[in-house]
Structure 1
Amino acid sequence: MTHLTKSEFAARHGWSKSYVSKLAKQERLVLTVDGKVDVEATELLLADSADPSKAAVAARHEENRVERDVRSQLQPGTGPTAVLQPDPAPGGTHNFQKAKAHREYYLAQLAEAEFNKVQGNLVERQAVEDAAYSAGRMLRDQFFGLAPQLAAELVAMNDPWDIEKHLVDAFRRVFNEVGKMNSADLSQAITQS
């Protein structure tokens, strides 16, 4: 473990002392009990909490530091690649890259769902459930409505073949009426909910 003062840590990276103080205020420095910077832990924390969208800015600043002849103060592996490809975060610490990727994934999912709604490929689930319930209830009501209609007619019949034929015709009539429910009726049932 390497422990440096804040000034030494700033010089090591070619940063100003005020920037290291800013990192300390943001709690992005791992400090020891005596106030020194734990270099390895701090670099890991900085890599995990770095914003990947700022990688180009970090690279540009790195180039400027190198141009000012700070190369001798830099350690291998502390350049922009450390910002772009951090090691996995140990035991439950916040990983900015994973959180941002997670957020972007779900925003893309929402955008895709909204696009499909606009295109008419998706509808609200509750509206479809309500329309299916209404259609099923209508079918059930028409079938239960057959009993009082057919009772008087069936009492007068004694041939099983005629009774069966009469029932099949009545059932077919109900199914045809329900089948005539066109897409406009279904669309109206969906939008009513």
Structure 2
Amino acid sequence: MRTYLSRKAFADSQGWSPSYVTKLGSQGRLIMSPDGKSVDVDATLAKLGKTADPSKEGVRQRHVDTRTQRDVRSQVTADAPDTAESQGGSSDYYTHKASREKYLALLAQAEYDKVCGNTVERQVVEEATYRYARLLRDSVMGLPKQISSDLAAISDPWKLERELSDRLRKMLEDVTKLGEDDLNKAMTE
């Protein structure tokens, strides 16, 4: 059978201030009853045990000792079941801390790569690539209008092929220079 208490009664049963219980609720560390009005004592204590910062254990123990010595409550125990140790696994605190450190390291690595110029912003490169592709398409589509009259006057197939190849090569070189400049400018922004 589960034990449900109001927030104030839960705070009193643990020897905590009601504001601390409110803080636990805002951190998402309180397990509430299905109606949302009462605290599930056993589940909350278990969750607090899993999510507690082990570096604060000395402070927690000192507070328990002080409360016991003052005899404020005869049954004050802040001992929550340590399910991580009993199951042989690592605690949730360490898992979350390791995950957080990993993502912070990845973020620092990404920022370092960006500063060193090893990475660029994707959107800028995509826009430059789009402009370059349009320039290439427009140049290729406009080439027949530029060279049609010159090619019509050539009757020798070998000269026609050479002229067409030369014009295509020149047009592609021009587009490459323009596109390269545009892409370099986009990557250094």
Please state how far the C-alpha of 1:167 moved relative to its aligned partner. 0.9
In 1, are the aligned partners of 2:132 and 2:179 still within 8 Å (CA)? no
The answer to whether structure 1 residue 56 and structure 2 residue 58 are counterparts is no
RMSD: 4.7
Deviation at 1:166, TM superposition (A): 1.3
Please give the TM-score of this superposition, normalised by the length of structure 1: 0.57
**Aligned match of 1:177:** 174
Counterpart-to-counterpart distance in 1, 2:164 and 2:22: 84
Where in structure 1 are there 5+ consecutive unaligned residues?
11-16, 32-36, 88-94
Q: Is the 8 A contact 1:23 1:29 kept in 2?
A: no
Q: Identity of counterpart residues, as a percentage?
A: 33
Q: How many residues align?
A: 167
The one-letter amino acid of 1:179's match is: T
Structure 2 distance, partners of 1:181, 1:157, is 30
Q: CA deviation at 1:61?
A: 4.0
Q: Which residue number in structure 2 is paired with residue 82 of structure 1?
A: 82
SS in 2 for 1:180: helix
Seen in structure 2, the aligned counterparts of structure 1 residues 166 and 86 have a Cα distance that, compared at 3 Å, is farther
Aligned residue for 2:48? 46
Structure with higher RCO (Cα < 8 A, 6+ apart): 1
User: How far apart in 2 are the matches of 1:38 and 1:131?
Assistant: 58
Q: Which residue of 1 aligns with 2:124?
A: 127
Match of 2:160 in 1: 163
- 5+ residue gaps, structure 2: 4-8, 34-38, 70-74
CA pair 100-143 structure 1, distance change in 2 beyond 3 A: same
The 3 A distance-change label for structure 1 pair 62 and 190 is: same
Return the offset for 1:62.
Answer: 3.0
Q: CA deviation at 1:141?
A: 2.3
Q: Distance in 1 between matches of 2:171 and 2:20?
A: 76
Deviations for 1:151-175, whole angstroms, at most 9, x for unmatched residues? 1111112222222121111111122
How far apart in 2 are the matches of 1:30 and 1:143? Answer: 68
The structure-2 alpha-carbon separation of the partners of 1:86 and 1:149, relative to structure 1 and needing over 3 Å to count, comes to: farther
1:132 Cα deviation after fit: 0.7
